Amino acid sequence: MDAEFVDAIGQLFTDSFAILRFLENGFNWMIIGIIAILMVIWVKKMSDFNKEADKNGTLR
């Protein structure tokens, strides 16, 4: 591979991760919030599926 190409890819990754330094800990809290919201949605859906299975007499 051409060394300039590899250097360009390396610089691209370095520049793209620079935004994380700008966001600092806010990025971590954003990811934690998104995961928490998705977990609540998931548990709600599982509860709905179990209620439907009980109503229909099907396997949980």
pLDDT digits (tens, 9 = 90+) for 16-46: 888 888 888 998 999 999 999 999 999 999 9
Residue 1 pLDDT exceeds 80: no
Domain that holds residue 45: 24-60
| Whole-angstrom distance, CA of residue 23 vs CA of residue 44 | 31
Total tally of structural domains belonging to the chain = 1
Does residue 3 sit within a domain? no
Residue 59 domain flag: yes
> For residue 28, is it within any domain?
yes
The reply to whether 46 falls in a domain is yes
Angle, CA 14 vertex, CA 11 and CA 15 arms, to 5°: 85
Name the pTM for this structure.
0.62
How far is 17 from 9, CA to CA, in rounded Å? 13
What was the pLDDT predicted at 24?
86
Q: Is the model's pLDDT at 60 over the cut of 80?
A: no
Q: Is residue 7 part of a domain?
A: no
